[in-house]
Amino acid sequence: MKDIGIYINSSGRAKLVHAVKKFPQEWKKFTQIIVPFKQKKEYENSLDWPIIGLPKEIPSFLAPQRKWVCDNSRHQFIFTIDDDVLFEKRDKLLKLRKATYDEMNEMLELIYKEVKEKKIPQVGISTRLGNNRVEEDYEDIARATRAYCYNREIILREKINFSPFNELVMDDFHITLCLLKKGYLNRIYYSFAQSDFGSNTEGGCSLYRNFEVMKKNTQFMLHEHRGFVKIKMKKTKNSWEGFPRDENGNYIRIDLIIFWKKAYQSFLDKKMGISHFFK
């Protein structure tokens, strides 16, 4: 599997990169932790894993840092994983438990087979939340987030941009919708799952993600993917400091409902329309 690499973008979280602490040691040879230029030494002092410091000119935002990985990686297949992701395995009763090293290797081989042999351009792992709603091992045309592998050559050939603006924090959703609208289906595995340590935790996107940034992201998604996204306001009691509150003290944040299958269907409808035109 020389043409697949694991890439973890991280910032301000040198002591909070929980993901690699749970990885099999053999993953170290093809895993890179990508960090801002000025933070490289701090990460090297905290972690015994390969660290790549970004060029000075790359902004301290996740989207342009992921774009740099896509533009400069030597691997055709990029498995991007959030720095606090933990993997789980599902049993026959749809119950989840911590994945063993052997099971994580099985998961990686499964993903590689899908992107390499079956030529599926994006293959991801289900979130823990909602994992038991899909009883089959996988579902096509679905949400990819936090842990997914993509074919770099397709992203570059189709000129799909990870960073249309620096503060984009919905890049996972943007990339997936771009692929679906161009007729590339994706596949999400539910036989495994991944979880994290909560939204808006210390470091990472929380360093700049506020209500105005979320509003800008929402406006971009509504414009760029018109007809396939819908605004939804969410309330939470914690983890979103700096966001406005309602009369009951709940934090208010802007979220999206995304119609993945409708986005893919739009490509099929367009293709069918063209074929009818030429007939």
94 and 27 Cβ atoms separated by less than 8 Å: no
pLDDT beyond 70 at 276? no
Give the percent of the chain with pLDDT over 90.
79
Mean pLDDT rounded to a whole number for the chain: 92
Cα torsion at 118, 124, 130, 132 (round to 10°)? 40
H or E element: which one contains 71? helix 62-72
* Mean pLDDT confidence for 199-203: 60
**pLDDT for 1:** 84
**Cα–Cα distance measured from residue 171 to residue 67, given in angstroms and rounded to the nearest whole number:** 10
**Cα–Cα distance measured from residue 50 to residue 87, given in angstroms and rounded to the nearest whole number:** 20
In the chain, the largest separation of any two C-alpha atoms, in whole Å, equals: 65
Give the other-Cβ count within 10 Å of 254's Cβ. 17
At 226, the pLDDT band (50, 70, 90 cuts) reads: very high
* Mean pLDDT confidence for 225-248: 82
Residue among 155, 18, 14, 180 at smallest CA distance from 85: 18
At how many degrees (to 10) do helices 62-72 and 171-181 cross?
50
- In the 8-state DSSP scheme, what is residue 245? B
Cα 151 to its chain centre, rounded Å, is 13
Residue among 125, 43, 15, 126 at smallest CA distance from 79: 125
**Cα–Cα distance measured from residue 44 to residue 234, given in angstroms and rounded to the nearest whole number:** 38
**Cα–Cα distance measured from residue 128 to residue 267, given in angstroms and rounded to the nearest whole number:** 30
| Predicted confidence (pLDDT) per residue in 32-86, tens digit | 999 999 999 999 999 999 999 999 999 989 999 999 999 999 999 999 999 999 9
**Cα–Cα distance measured from residue 209 to residue 21, given in angstroms and rounded to the nearest whole number:** 26
Instruction: Identify the residue with better confidence: 185 or 211.
Output: 185
| Predicted confidence (pLDDT) per residue in 149-200, tens digit | 999 999 999 999 999 999 999 999 999 999 999 999 999 999 999 998 665 5
